[in-house]
Amino acid sequence: MSAPLSILHLDCTMGQGGQEKDHIHEAVAFARRGHRYVIAARPGTFLLRVAEGKGFGLSVPFRSNFDLASFRIVRKYLVENHVDILVTTSYIDSVLGWFAALSLGRSRPVVVRQRHLLNPPKGMLPYRHFCDFLVAVSDIARFGYVEKKIPFWKVVALPRGIPEPGEGKGPLPSVVPAIPEGDRIILQIGTFQRDKGQLPLLEGLRAHLLAHPSLHLVILGEGPLRPNIERRLEDPRFKELRGRIHLPGWCNPVPFYRRAAVTVISSFREAFPLVALESLYFGVPVVAFRQGGVPEVQAWSEWGDLVDPWQFPSLCRTAVEWALRPDLSCPTLDRIRKVYHERYSIEAAALRTERFYRWAIARKRAGRHSANPYAIVGGSGDPFFDPPTP
């Protein structure tokens, strides 16, 4: 039986979206498998609060890239706990973590940078030089880094998982919107920020909601753009619709999945949409833009539609067509749930990740963690391999 792993995961994030929740799910899953998994995060953040509540949080200030106090805390933990894998996530912690690991010399852990986003990075230096391996959450994200000249053997695609329905989903909504039993819900979930597309979605659906009094729009989430959305709803053009557009905030989405007729993903970019997986598990079709990691989810589900990127009129029209279907039952639900358990459960994601971590550790011990594993003497094992100049 393989020895338990010791893993330290750094993330200086201030948010509480899918990325942070994924860290928690991964830590819990690794703990269930007998490993030590600790999350280091900033004081007062959602991530640290939840991690400490579950017994695996470590408070680190993360004030800057070269914050000496944070460096000392991370380095001390690496030494005292014989860390095998150091995971970094954001710019500050990726710099601090890399140099803390390097300071240990040959006994340092393998450094793995996770990348949950599809947003273009400001610079490639941390991805090229401040980690041994880069883990992207989808094939399309991995290909993006390969196109940026990151060696293909350094970038690994590991799709994330979602928990069992209702597990770790947060509190139920404090106020349940009054939606008549026979009415249909168009559901959108995400942090209120520009790249999630809530404002253009509101504008695109306005005429459809006016034309179909049985339709409701539920937008779950919080974020910096919530005041903008609330101000938009105060516009006289939305006067007739205010009773059918609901903003319950961050809460357990399961009651809404159970009632939703369709989930619309209006994001301008999505590396790997966990909301799509959750929706499909509940038999709710997904309508989204054909971009990022969305096609990877839709390719096997065949339940919903993809439209051309950023064409909001088409997105809204297609979502309404799905919402108004006479029969809301999903004919492929059994197959969707089978795929979930095989590929996208938290347990399946943790098993994939653990296998990768053990492979990375073995490569480091062999002194080949930075070498092309496809290179062979006298030639190349992969068309991407560029042999060094003699």
Please report, rounded to a whole number, the percentage of residues in the chain having pLDDT higher than 70.
Answer: 92
Closest CA to 198 of 315, 291, 324: 315
* pTM of the full structure: 0.84
Assigned fold of 6-161+345-380 = Rossmann fold (3.40.50)
Model pLDDT for residues 272-314, shown as the tens digit of each residue: 888 999 999 999 999 999 998 899 888 888 899 999 999 999 9
Are 6-161+345-380 and 184-342 equal in CATH topology?
yes
Residue 389 has pLDDT above 60, yes or no: no
Q: Tens digits of per-residue pLDDT, 230-273?
A: 999 999 999 999 999 999 998 889 999 999 999 999 999 898 88
Is residue 168 predicted with pLDDT exceeding 60?
Answer: no
Domain 184-342 fold is Rossmann fold (3.40.50)
Residue 377: pLDDT over 80: no
- Give the pLDDT confidence score for residue 197 in this predicted structure: 96
Query: Are residues 284 and 262 in contact, defined by beta-carbon separation less than 8 angstroms?
Result: yes
pLDDT for res 79: 98
**Predicted confidence band at 348 (pLDDT cuts at 50, 70, 90)?**
very high
First to last CA, the chain: 44
Locate the domains of the chain by residue range: 6-161+345-380, 184-342
d(CA 96, CA 91): 9
pLDDT above 60 for 379: no
User: For 45-80, what is each residue's pLDDT tens digit?
Assistant: 999 999 999 999 999 999 999 999 999 999 999 999
Q: What is the pLDDT of residue 316?
A: 98
